[in-house]
Copies of this chain bind each other. A is one copy, B any other.
Amino acid sequence: MKATIKDVAKLAGVSFKTVSRVINREPSVGEELQERVWAAIKELNYQPNISARQLRGAASFIAFIYDNPNSHYVIEMQHGLLAECRAQGYELLIHPLAAGSGDTMADLEQLLSTGHIAGLVLTPPFSENPELIAALRERKLPFVRIVSGSSDPAEPEPCIYVDDYQAAFDITDYLAGLGHRRIAFLGGEDIHRSSVERRHGYLAALAEHGIDEDPALIVPGEFNFDSGADRTRRLLAMQPRPTAIFAANDEIAAGALFSARINQVAVPQELSIVGFEDSPFSRQTWPKLTTAHQPNGDIAGSAASHLIASIRASRNGSAASHQDSPDSDASLPDNGFRPQLVVRDSTCPAPQ
């Protein structure tokens, strides 16, 4: 049976009118009450029947800003954002941008000029661009950043951080524990902080195991299949060859696997390969890839949840900040994530 607004009121322990005020985003309801009502709406999967008239004046679109050619990442992020946006009465608009094009802020201004954007979800590299952040701050539009980092940057705006450093440390530590000493690292574009963090984690684990850094084994490139295939071809021509490859994402790893097959190098017997992300590819290829599980949907859901809390706070007249109102965050999911190692069939002890 479909939940009604009365069911929501009962579960939240508030009046019908309060639920209606919350749904219509009237600023007269306190934050604690608002959170309670939204929690009840989510639990009952109540679909508020919002008419155009009720919504008039309240921007109800959240824009997802990204530049990432990795389909699985983008789709998983979209799904996580959509789940939270829908539950809280927002629609999701997608606005991919080319990070290299330079005119990001001008493009965003145009998007914002439509006048219906309540807030932005920024992913790397935009979320890691100080000029862009400064410009948005000046614009006073709520936004949430998803960044690569080991701790909360503790800025006025909400931020979701993903601990790529530690995850990369864990992967490299695992390979070294299998006896690998010649471990290559295939990174992505350094404009993505995640690539830098993963490289640093890799280097720290090598140091921990007393393995000297070999610059020839750290091959710069891009976060895609072709770059992974290319670089692996070059690595396999080295004497001695590396016995393991840590690819900074699953697409690079897919390319590495492909080149190993073409060169008739057995995976994992002669060459262990680890990816990063836990994309469907990693589970569907043969051998299945050892990788780090990056919970993109949860990361995105948390980002949307923090952003919407921030939008409500700003409409309530309090500072648009999650830092200033710690109480209202009690029900929000955590904002720190650490990708976890998933061991499958593409890794084994180093050959003798």
Contacts and interface: CB of A to CB of B under 8 A. Distances in A.
A153 interface: no
A253 to B, nearest CB: 11
A352 interface: no
Contact of A52 (B74, B115, B262): B115
Interface residues of A, number: 44
Which of A51, A258, A285 has most B Cβ within 10 Å? A285
A61 interface: yes
A239 interface: no
B113 A51 contact: yes
Interface in A71-94: 71-72, 74-75, 78-79, 82, 91-94
A93 B96 contact: no
A47 B110 contact: yes
Copies in the complex: 2
A231 to B, nearest CB: 15
Nearest to A254: B284
B114 A60 contact: yes
Interface string A112-139: 0111100000000000000000000000
Contacts of A60: 114
Contacts of A82: 94, 96
Nearest to A74: B75
Interface string A41-72: 00000011111100110001101000000011
A114 B258 contact: no
A310 to B, nearest CB: 21
Given A51-B113, A114-B60, A281-B281, A93 B91 contact: yes
A106 interface: yes
B116 A116 contact: yes
Given A75-B75, A286-B261, A61 B93 contact: yes
A50 to B, nearest CB: 6
Nearest to A89: B110
B47 A225 contact: no
Interface in A177-230: 225
A239 to B, nearest CB: 25
Interface string A230-260: 0000000000000000000000001101100
Contacts of A52: 113-115
A79 B66 CA distance: 13
B284 A258 contact: yes
Interface in A276-314: 280-281, 284-286
A251 to B, nearest CB: 8
A74 B280 CA distance: 15
A94 B95 contact: no
A266 interface: no
A331 to B, nearest CB: 25
A3 interface: no
A14 interface: no
Determine which residue in A61, A261, A284 has the highest number of CB atoms from chain B within 10 A of its CB, and name it: A284
Interface of A: 47-52, 55-56, 60-61, 63, 71-72, 74-75, 78-79, 82, 91-96, 106-107, 110-111, 113-116, 225, 254-255, 257-258, 261-262, 280-281, 284-286
